[in-house]
Chain A
Amino acid sequence: TQLLEQSPQFLSIQEGENLTVYCNSSSVFSSLQWYRQEPGEGPVLLVTVVTGGEVKKLKRLTFQFGDARKDSSLHITAAQPGDTGLYLCARFMPYNNNDMRFGAGTRLTVKP
């Protein structure tokens, strides 16, 4: 059972386009993280969101945590080829046996 559902699974766009990817769950998160993974490398943490309704910006990337803390989105403005990679969301439950769960990811390709 995938506790974190990410959509879309694959996304291929042209340079300069905007996009949004989603991470959803039926459970409430205490916090949620977004990672980016490039081929042949380990994931790299982009952001952690903690508060319902929170919005964080990282250059052209905007992360939003849903008010009910059950969903999150990542919006990229004016995508560039360097944004290509696998975007993973993850949730950590420190009070549930240190359980750490990742979504399956959205594989983004930005074509020049």
Chain B
Amino acid sequence: NAGVTQTPKFQVLKTGQSMTLQCAQDMNHEYMSWYRQDPGMGLRLIHYSVGAGITDQGEVPNGYNVSRSTTEDFPLRLLSAAPSQTSVYFCATSGTSAYEQYFGPGTRLTVT
């Protein structure tokens, strides 16, 4: 039982490149979300999903896309990376809502 897994662990991109951060869970949770964590800012919600086929925007959605085709996976796409997207990204899941969330280990992204 792996819980919440995220890949890659580290990534360096050049400005303008695209990439997908992967998130997978084996807890059969309906609610999944993506956060970014920056020094002094806490975690900020990017996008979330309440179930397969349903996604919505969080506090800071610009520059990011998501989709939810299965219960298990919730990838986060950066279409054209910018230095402002340098951050640590966390995926989280919850059984029915964001009430009690389980976080993955994070992806540290640097955009140069």
Contacts and interface: CB of A to CB of B under 8 A. Distances in A.
Interface stretch (B12-20, B66-74, B75-83, B102-110): B102-110
Contacts of A99: 45, 58-59
Interface string B35-74: 1000011111100101000001011000000000000000
Given A41-B106, A42-B92, A42-B106, A98 B100 contact: no
Given A2-B42, A42-B92, A98 B97 contact: yes
Contacts of B90: 42-43
Given A31-B99, A48-B99, A100 B104 contact: no
Contacts of A42: 4, 90, 92, 103-106
A99 B43 CA distance: 12
A6 to B, nearest CB: 8
Given A43-B43, A104-B40, A98 B59 contact: no
A interface, by DSSP: helix, strand, loop or mixed? loop
A97 to B, nearest CB: 7
Interface residues of B, number: 26
Given A42-B90, A43-B103, A100 B41 contact: no
Nearest to A92: B98
Nearest to B33: A100
A9 B104 CA distance: 24
A31 B98 CA distance: 11
Nearest to B35: A102
A105 interface: yes
B101 interface: yes
A44 B97 contact: no
10 contacts: A33-B100, A40-B105, A41-B105, A42-B92, A42-B103, A43-B43, A94-B99, A100-B48, A101-B59, A103-B42
